[in-house]
Amino acid sequence: MIAINNVSKWYGDFQVLTDCTTRVAKGEVVVVCGPSGSGKSTLIKCVNALEPFQKGSVVVNGIAVENTKTNLPRLRAQVGMVFQHFELFPHMTITQNLTVAQIKVLGRGKEEALDKGLKLLDRVGLKSQADKFPGQLSGGQQQRVAIARALAMDPICMLFDEPTSALDPEMINEVLDVMVQLAREGMTMMCVTHEMGFARKVAHRVIFMDQGAIVEDATKDDFFGKPHSERAQNFLAKILQH
Amino acid sequence: MGDFDFSIIAANWRFLAEGLRYTVQVTLTAMVGGILLGTLLALMRLASLWPLRWLAAAYINFFRSVPLVQVILAVYLILPLLLQFLTGRLIPIGADNSAYFTFTIFEAAYYAEIIRSGIQSIPRGQVAAGYALGFTYSQTMRLVVLPQAFRNMLPVLLTQTIVLFQDVSLVYAIGATDFFGAADKITQRDLRPVEMYTTVAVVYFVLCFALSRLVKYLQSRIAIIR
């Protein structure tokens, strides 16, 4: 589904990604973790070409994103993305947020888009908030709407870029619950997150990154059981202490 | 106080009203045209292609460096020659029409800078979210960035429009009759400057003040809940 092959990226002289290679199979849930500044978010944004890269290739569902002939809007419409800061459109109601891309990008009719949007809103438990504006919702609620907005496009896979890092602690679980449910339904997911509980629960594989490189790419059990690299061991020791 | 004679206003109200109508028309034309052209210039200025950026910057810097009166005069004198050169025919434009064009292209430079900063005030994540949903560049601008940017910059845009409304009086330089020009002409004929200019000042004040109240009202109406 997603193939990342030898991707390298530089900001000027500074190399942010070094020769990253990994794959996400259909139905697979892959968690990407690592210290901040390790390039996790940059890597995941390369998948839908929000971040350009200078070397290597990324193939999503058979389409190379770095190819200049690729119709990027069409490709991105099939890849759902959830951001750290939600990025709902603040000037639109929740309903409009859920329907605008369905109508403008997929060409769905208003009725159909509304129907789909409200169903998904119900699914994330926020049906009663349909006519509110994003600013009237809590962070956790906004992030659930953002997930519903991405799902409304019937994506073939979902990218999560630290979806819970900007949330107050008591709101993290309501978002993770939605993500766990999604994973169990077989959605292909690539998640940048520090939530190791989530990784333990639903991830098939865990990728550990440090200084722009993929240091460890292991099955969940291997990663939590016996990580190869010292850096991954240290990282786990630090974040799993409590 | 006995020397004041405001009958001069009543006697000439039709002429004054004509002037005011012209002032309002030029203001509205230049506002709408200037914001449209200014949006285009702002998008060019933020484009990734350097020739577009360069062209927009040159345009904006040029008009911001030249006094408005001079542009009014220059367009009035040069535009007919230019049109004659292009079409081969002599097309009389007249001072009145020339001003519509001048104010539109001049104000566009100022609106463009306001709009540029408005666009830049929108977080990059909003653009990323637009792209991630499959929007094209133009959809991202039209549906996500510009609606938010215009809400943010509405007060500044309308303030600029109030300045524009007052600046229309500079058309006296080419003999067009706006509101102030009309008052000026009557004054020179009837020699009652105090009554006339006082009245004009009051009218300008009332209109501009009303406009700034409107700005405040609109601001509270369309504010984005954050």
pLDDT at B186 over 80: yes
pLDDT of residue A242: 60
Distance of residue A204 Cα from the nearest chain B Cα, in angstroms: 25
Query: Which CATH class, in words, describes the domain spanning B6-225?
Result: mainly alpha
Mean pLDDT of A131-137: 95
**Would the CB atoms of B133 and A77 count as touching at under 8 Å?**
yes
Does position A10 have pLDDT exceeding 80, yes or no?
Answer: yes
Mean pLDDT on B5-13 = 83
Lowest mean pLDDT among A65-69, B53-57, B188-192: B188-192
Locate the domains of chain B by residue range.
6-225
Per-residue pLDDT at B1 exceeds 70:
no
A107 and chain B in contact, CB less than 8 A: no
Using a CB-CB cut-off of 8 Å, the residues of chain A touching B151 are: 91
Virtual CA dihedral for A51, A53, A57, A63, nearest 10 degrees? 40
Percent of chain A with pLDDT over 70: 99
If you count them, how many residues does chain B have?
226
Q: How confident is the model at residue B102 (pLDDT cuts 50, 70, 90)?
A: very high
pLDDT at A117 > cutoff 90: yes
> Helix or strand or coil: residue A33?
strand
CB contact under 8 A, A135 and B224: yes
B59 contact partners, CB below 8 Å, separation of at least 6: B41, B109, B112
Å between A84 CA and nearest CA of chain B: 9
Q: What is the pLDDT of residues B28-69, one digit of tens each?
A: 999 999 999 999 999 999 999 999 999 999 999 999 999 999
Tell me, what's the pLDDT at B218?
Answer: 82
Least confident of A159-173, A215-229, B134-148: A215-229
C-beta separation of A58 from A2 below 8 A: yes
**What is the C-alpha to C-alpha distance for residues B106 and B163, in angstroms, rounded to an integer?**
13
pLDDT at A121: 96
Q: Check residue A236 and give its pLDDT.
A: 87
Say how many C-beta atoms besides its own lie within 10 A of residue A62's C-beta.
7
Supply the DSSP symbol for B123: -
Mean pLDDT of B188-192: 85
Sheet holding A79-82, edge to edge: A79-82, A157-161, A189-192, A29-33, A205-210, A213-219
- Chain B residues with beta carbon closer than 8 angstroms to that of A81: 129, 132
Q: Would you state the pLDDT for residue B2?
A: 58
Facing A87 at nearest CB: one of B125, B135, B143: B125
Mean pLDDT, rounded, for B10-15:
87
Residue-level pLDDT at B100: 95
Q: Which pLDDT score, from 0 to 100, does residue B88 have?
A: 84
pTM of the predicted structure, to 2 decimals: 0.87
Burial class (CB in 10 A: 0-12, 13-18, 19+), B85: exposed
ipTM confidence: 0.94
pLDDT exceeds cutoff 90 at B175: no
Mean pLDDT (whole number) for A179-207: 94
For residues B210-217, average pLDDT: 88
Q: Do A91 and B147 touch (CB under 8 A)?
A: yes
Query: What are A82's strand-pairing partners?
Result: A160
Short-list A125, A162, A160, CA closest to A36: A162
